[in-house]
C-alpha cells in the first residue's frame, strides 16, 4: 500500500506556506490544494481501517465469541453491499431509526455480547469505539459508487427527517451558530475551506457521501458520528451523546437530501 508519509508532510508544509502568498496567487493556491488532495487519493490510509473493519466483521469476538456476519444492516442478515447508502433507516427489532454506527452497537451487543456502553461512553480512536469506526469504514466502502437512497416509507423515518431539519436550522450557543450558518448557502467557504450546501443533494462524494474519511491533518479516521460531533464542537454547542437521536435525525436529514449522490466513502480530507 503506497503510503508516502514523507511526501504528505512535504506537501502539507507547502500548502501552509501558500497562505502567506499574494492575492493574485489565490486561484493558484486553491488549485495547488486540489492537486494535493488528488495526490493523496493515490494512497488513502483509510485502506488500513477498511482491512481492520473487515476482520472485525468476520472474526468471532466478545463474551459470546461470535462474528457480526449475521448482523442485519437493513437489507437482511449479513448483507453488506448497498446497506450504507440506505442508512439511517427504521429497524423493526429495536423499534428505532438507526444510523450505521448505532446499528453496529446493536449488533455488537446482541450477537457478540459487547456492552453498548463501551462504544457510547468510549473515546474516539480507542477500544470498541475505534472498532466501530473501522467497521463503518469497511461497510461504507462496500457501497462505493452506489447512489444514496434512504427509505422514507416508515412514519418514524419521516418524523426523524423533520426533526433533523429542525436540528439543522437550530441556532444556539454563544455564537448563534446552526448547521445552516455554514451549510445553508451555495458556494461559500470558511477561510479557504469550501462548504457544501446540505439542504439539497450537494453532489457525488460530497458531504454525507464523503464520511467516513481519513483526516490527513490529524492522522485519524473519522466516522459520520465523529464528523457531526466536531461540527457541534466548532458550533460552540454542548456535546451530543454518541449515536443519540440528535445525531441519527441529522443523518436522516442529510442522507435523504443526498438522494442520488454517489458514495465515495472512504474519502481523504485535509
Partner 1 sequence: MSKNKHILALAAAAALVAGCAGSGSTAGTPSSAELDALTQQIIKADFHDKGIVKVAEAFRDDETMRLCNAADVAGKPLDNATAKRIEELNMKTIQWPSDGKFLGDWKEGEKIAQSGRGLTWTDTAKTVNGGNCYNCHQIDKKEISFGTIGTSLYNYGKIRGVTDPNSPAAQEMVKYTWGKIWNSKAYNACSNMPRAGHMGILNEEQVRHLVALLLDPKSPVNQ
Please identify every residue annotated as catalytic. 231
| Pairing of β 267-269 and β 213-215 | parallel
Which among 56-64, 79-87, 133-141, 244-252 is the span making contact with partner 1, rule CB under 8 A?
A: 244-252
Shortest reach from residue 223's CB to partner 1, in Å? 17
Which among 51-59, 101-109, 181-189, 258-266 is the span making contact with partner 1, rule CB under 8 A?
A: 181-189
Stretch 61-100: interaction string toward partner 1, x if CB under 8 A: ----------------------------------xx----
Shortest reach from residue 23's CB to partner 1, in Å? 5
Q: How far apart are CA 116 and CA 110, in angstroms?
A: 10
19 forms part of the interface with partner 1 (CB under 8 A): yes
Which element (helix H / strand E) includes 176? none
Please identify which residue in 81, 117, 175, 200 interacts with partner 1, judged by CB under 8 A. 175
Backbone CA torsion sign across 138, 196, 237, 16: positive
Please identify which residue in 7, 109, 110, 159 interacts with partner 1, judged by CB under 8 A. 159
Please identify which residue in 105, 119, 167, 209 interacts with partner 1, judged by CB under 8 A. 167
Q: How far apart are CA 50 and CA 142, in angstroms?
A: 10
Q: Long-range contacts for 89-92 (Cβ within 8 Å, ≥24 apart)?
A: 89/150, 89/151, 89/154, 89/157, 90/151, 90/154, 90/156, 90/157
Q: Which residue, 227, 196, 191, is CA-closest to 30?
A: 191
Q: Say whether the peptide bond before residue 136 is cis (omega within 30 degrees of 0).
A: no
**Cβ within 8 Å of residue 166, ≥6 positions away:** none
Please identify which residue in 13, 63, 155, 217 interacts with partner 1, judged by CB under 8 A. 155
111 forms part of the interface with partner 1 (CB under 8 A): no
Residues near partner 1 (CB under 8 A)? 19, 21-23, 25-26, 29, 95-96, 155-156, 158-159, 162-163, 165-167, 169-178, 180-182, 184-185, 187-192, 195, 233-234, 236-241, 244-247, 249
Amino acid at each position: 500500500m503506497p503510503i508516502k508519509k514523507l511526501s504528505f508532510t512535504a506537501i502539507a508544509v507547502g500548502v501552509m506556506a501558500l497562505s502567506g502568498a499574494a492575492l493574485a496567487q489565490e486561484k493558484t493556491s486553491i488549485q495547488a490544494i486540489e492537486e494535493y488532495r488528488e495526490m493523496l487519493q493515490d494512497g488513502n490510509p483509510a485502506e488500513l481501517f477498511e482491512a481492520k473493519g473487515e476482520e472485525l466483521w468476520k472474526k468471532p469476538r466478545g463474551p459470546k465469541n461470535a462474528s457480526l456476519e449475521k448482523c442485519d444492516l437493513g437489507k437482511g442478515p449479513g448483507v453488506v453491499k448497498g446497506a450504507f447508502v440506505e442508512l439511517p433507516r427504521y429497524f423493526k427489532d429495536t423499534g428505532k431509526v438507526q444510523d450505521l454506527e448505532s446499528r453496529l452497537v446493536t449488533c455488537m451487543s446482541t450477537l457478540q455480547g459487547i456492552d453498548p456502553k463501551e462504544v457510547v461512553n468510549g473515546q474516539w480512536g480507542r477500544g470498541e469505539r475505534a472498532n466501530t469506526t473501522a467497521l463503518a469504514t469497511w461497510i461504507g466502502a462496500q457501497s462505493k459508487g452506489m447512489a444514496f437512497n434512504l427509505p422514507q416509507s416508515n412514519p418514524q423515518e419521516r418524523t426523524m427527517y423533520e426533526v433533523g431539519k429542525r436540528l439543522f436550522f437550530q441556532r444556539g450557543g454563544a455564537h448563534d451558530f446552526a448547521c445552516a450558518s455554514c451549510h445553508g448557502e451555495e458556494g461559500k467557504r470558511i477561510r479557504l475551506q469550501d462548504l457544501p450546501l446540505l439542504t439539497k443533494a450537494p453532489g457525488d462524494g460530497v458531504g454525507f457521501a464523503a464520511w467516513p474519511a481519513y483526516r490527513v491533518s490529524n492522522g485519524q479516521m473519522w466516522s459520520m458520528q465523529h464528523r457531526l460531533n466536531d461540527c457541534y464542537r466548532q458550533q460552540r454547542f454542548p456535546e451530543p451523546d454518541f449515536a443519540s437521536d440528535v445525531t441519527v435525525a441529522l443523518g436522516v436529514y442529510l442522507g435523504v437530501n443526498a438522494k442520488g449522490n454517489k458514495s465515495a466513502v472512504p474519502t481523504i480530507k485535509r
